[in-house]
Structure 1
Amino acid sequence: MIQIPSAPSSAPSIEQYLGKNVHLLPQTHQLRALHTVIRDRNARREDFVFYSERIIRMLVEASLNLLPFEKHDVQTPVGRTYEGLRFASKLCGVSVVRAGESMEAGLREVCRSIRIGKILIQRDKVTKLPKLYYASLPADIAERQVLLMDPMLATGGSALAAIQVLLDKGVPEENIIFINLLTVPEGITAVCGRHPKLRLVTSSIEERLNENAYMLPGIGDFGDRFFGTDV
């Protein structure tokens, strides 16, 4: 049973995970400008979607760079050999429904024929624990590198449940890259503490969770804002 970590009054230290398990996008002025648009509570939905997708594309590119490559030489048009590389193993994406589906287009933009599975996990209204409702994954997922996609990593309850689904299907922990738009120290320690071989790629590490488990400074409900169901 996956227990949902409670939100502490102060954020835990994540120094041991930075650069090892956790890969944070370079905090450039451009990235901060993109975040400024999507964090604005008055942002138009079309702007929120457009600039979120720009960040998602950056996250996908950074995640692909963490995958294993193998040597692959080709002949150039002028008859020379280029000592190149190619992915060393098969890939697949897995989105955590529903917010994670916002990241599928960004993945397909750079991996056109990639297979994408889906996992639906919701919190049980009685037990308050994450419950698996649906999973559709490639039959050979255990042989693939998996890009698990969910824009928000807060307490880590749903993330741990989704990761367990992949582990139960035979995916090695080290073959999972978890892509988030935003996360917090509480989520990082919950996920990386339990799965030390997993890698996490994010564009922002927020300050902490408040007493209601909302990220600070935060972005609101990403799925509602992206899909236009926040009104």
Structure 2
Amino acid sequence: MPSQTEPAAPSQCVGPEYRPNAQKPTATVSTEVSHENVHILPQTPQLIALLTMIRDKNTNRADFIFYSNRIIRLLVEEGLNHLPVVEHTISTPVGRTYSGVKFEGKICGVSIMRAGEAMEQGLRDCCRSVRIGKILIQRDEETSKPKLFYDKLPEDISDRWVLLLDPMLATGGSALMAVDVLISRGVPEERILFLNLIASPEGAVNFAQKFPKVRVVTAFVDMGLNEKNYIVPGLGDFGDRFYTM
């Protein structure tokens, strides 16, 4: 049960639209964030089921990887929807024309090591031969603040749309520093999209307020942070569960 000071988790009936609510189970859904640049994936039965699997402490590593990859694919697909397109008319094999669109400009991915590297394959699955840079940020034990240790980015990154990859957004310190690095390399703020599996409200708000032109695409905003700044209810350490446990 939530404490008197802790708000109840938002919930709704989840299931096919053609079924009445009485025939649908009730599930916890994402907390809403009142910032236009934070986009939360639709809380569909599929997404909630996938999140349930990766949150479960009893889910083994193979299943954790499989279901995480499915969510990552949904995030990448939605992230690509936020990129600008231009008109593009083509001819079909039957001699007709089709008025379509194509992406405007080049893209690249940038993963925040190490957990963010788990999202790289999902981006490659959607964008063949995409270039991917890396940023290593770790917490300084003396100051408890994030510190940049390493970055390797495409030389022409300032000319690209950047999909920044990191599965967990807690306080937002690492992601905020990563955006600072990208901006220092000449990437316009409005050309950065941050793809994230689970965020805290605090991290999402910090991010939205500091970088209002960066679009955040997340699968779920959780209830908050505990005294150790862990996302709750969360899913534990994503990197450990994906790579080692």
Q: Same fold (TM over 0.5)?
A: yes
Identity, in percent, stands at 58
Question: What secondary structure is seen at the aligned counterpart in 1 of 2:72?
Answer: helix
Please tell me whether residue 210 in structure 1 is matched to residue 226 in structure 2.
yes
Match of 1:27 in 2: 43
Q: Distance in 2 between matches of 1:161 and 1:14?
A: 24
C-alpha distance after superposition, 1:83-134 (max 9, x if no partner) = 1111101000000000000000000001011100000000111111111111
Please tell me whether residue 192 in structure 1 is matched to residue 208 in structure 2.
yes
Q: Distance in 1 between matches of 2:175 and 2:41?
A: 20
**What value does the CA root-mean-square deviation take over the aligned residues?**
1.4
Question: What secondary structure is seen at the aligned counterpart in 1 of 2:148?
Answer: strand
Q: Which has the higher contact order (CA 8 A, sep 6+)?
A: 1
Please tell me whether residue 174 in structure 1 is matched to residue 190 in structure 2.
yes
When normalised by structure 1's length, the TM-score is 0.92
Please report how far the alpha carbon of residue 172 of structure 1 lies from its aligned counterpart in structure 2 after TM superposition: 0.5
Which ranges in structure 1 are unaligned for 5 or more consecutive residues? 1-8
Give yes or no for contact 1:14–1:189 (8 Å, CA) kept in 2: no
Q: Distance in 1 between matches of 2:184 and 2:86?
A: 28
Give yes or no for contact 1:99–1:223 (8 Å, CA) kept in 2: yes
Match of 1:143 in 2: 159
When normalised by structure 2's length, the TM-score is 0.86
Q: Distance in 2 between matches of 1:155 and 1:109?
A: 29
Give yes or no for contact 1:119–1:162 (8 Å, CA) kept in 2: yes
Moved segments of 4+, more than 4 Å: none
Match of 2:20 in 1: none
Q: Distance in 2 between matches of 1:37 and 1:65?
A: 26
Alignment size in residue pairs: 218
Higher-Rg structure is 2
Question: What secondary structure is seen at the aligned counterpart in 1 of 2:217?
Answer: strand
Match of 1:103 in 2: 119
Aligned residue identity for 2:161: Q
Please tell me whether residue 52 in structure 1 is matched to residue 52 in structure 2.
no
Please tell me whether residue 16 in structure 1 is matched to residue 34 in structure 2.
yes
C-alpha distance after superposition, 1:44-85 (max 9, x if no partner) = 110000000000000000000000101111100111111111
